[in-house]
Amino acid sequence: MLFSKSHRVLPGFGLSLGFTLTYLALIVLVPLSSVFIKTSGMDFARFVEVVTSPRVVASYKLTFGASLLAALINSVFGLILAWALVRYTFPGRKLIDALVDLPFALPTAVAGISLTALYAPNGWLGQFLEPLGIKIAFGPAGVLVALIFIGLPFVVRTVQPVLEDLDVEYEEAAASLGASRFQTLSRVTIPALFPALLTGFSLAFARAVGEYGSVIFIAGNLPMVSEITPLLIITRLEEFDYQGATAIASVMLIFSFVLLLIVNWLQGWTSKRSGKGE
C-alpha cells in the first residue's frame, strides 16, 4: 500500500517551526534584545560619548584586529594541520588528533595561566625570547597568541570532514593532465575546501571576539595598549555603570553580526559559483 504523504519522525511543519522559533527566542533573541533595551535608557549623545571614547576605541581595534588576524592565521595553519591528519599516516597521529580538541575542553582561565607561564619573561619560552627583544606576554602579542590557541580547533574540525570526503582522484587527474602542485592546490583542492574554510574562519573569529578568560591573564590589561573590549564591559559592570556596559556590548554585537552576515553571504556566493562550475 502506498502512502500519499511521506512519514516523518517529528511532528508537522507548524509545530516544529513553532517550537524552533520559541526556543530560539528564549535562548538567543530575548537575552540579546535586553542589551538594546538597557542601552535605550541612554540619550544618543551619551551613547556616542561612551562608545567612542579613546579607551573604548582602542579596545575595539585590539579586539577585532587581533581576532581577525588570529582567525586568518588559524585558517592557514588549521588547513595544513587538517591536511596532515587526513592525508598522512604517522606515529602519534591519533594523539595529535585528540590534542586538537584540547582548547574545547580546557577551561579558559587554565589556558590563560598556562600561556602566561610559557611566554612570561621568566617563562619556559619567554626567558629565551626576552633577550632577543621579543615580548609576548603582557602585551598585544599575548592577546594574539591566546586567540590563536582557542580558535584553532574550529578551523581544523570544520575542514577535516570535508577533506576526508574529497576524493584524491581529482588531484591525481589534475596531475595526470599536467597540472603542477600549485595549480592542483589552487584550482582543485582549495575551491572545494573554501566554503568549509570560510565557515571555520567565521567560527574562529566569533569565538575570539568574545574571548575573556584566556586573554586577561596574558594580556597585561594596560589601557590603550592591551585592554580588550570584554574586559572593559566587565569593568563597567563592576563600577555599576550598567548602561555603559550594555552600550559597549551593543556595539560589539552589531559589529560581530554584520561581519558574520558578510561571511555568510560569501559562503552562499562561493557555493553558487561552485555549483555553476560543476
Q: Which stretches in the chain have pLDDT values below 50?
A: 1-4
- The contacts of residue 276 (CB under 8 Å, 6+ apart) are none
What's 58-277's CATH class?
A: mainly alpha
pLDDT, tens only, 217-272? 999 888 899 999 999 999 999 999 899 999 999 998 888 888 878 877 877 776 67
Task: Provide the 10 A C-beta neighbour count for residue 151.
Answer: 26
Q: Measured between alpha carbons, how far is 4 from 19 in angstroms, rounded to an integer?
A: 26
Helix or strand holding residue 202 (H, E) = helix 190-209
* Amino acid code (one letter) for 71: A
pLDDT of residue 2: 47
Which 8-state DSSP code applies to residue 11?
-
CB 82 within 8 A of CB 76: no
CB 232 within 8 A of CB 55: yes
Domain boundaries, the chain: 58-277
- The contacts of residue 118 (CB under 8 Å, 6+ apart) are 124, 125, 126
Which 8-state DSSP code applies to residue 167?
-
Which 8-state DSSP code applies to residue 158?
H
pLDDT of residue 165: 86
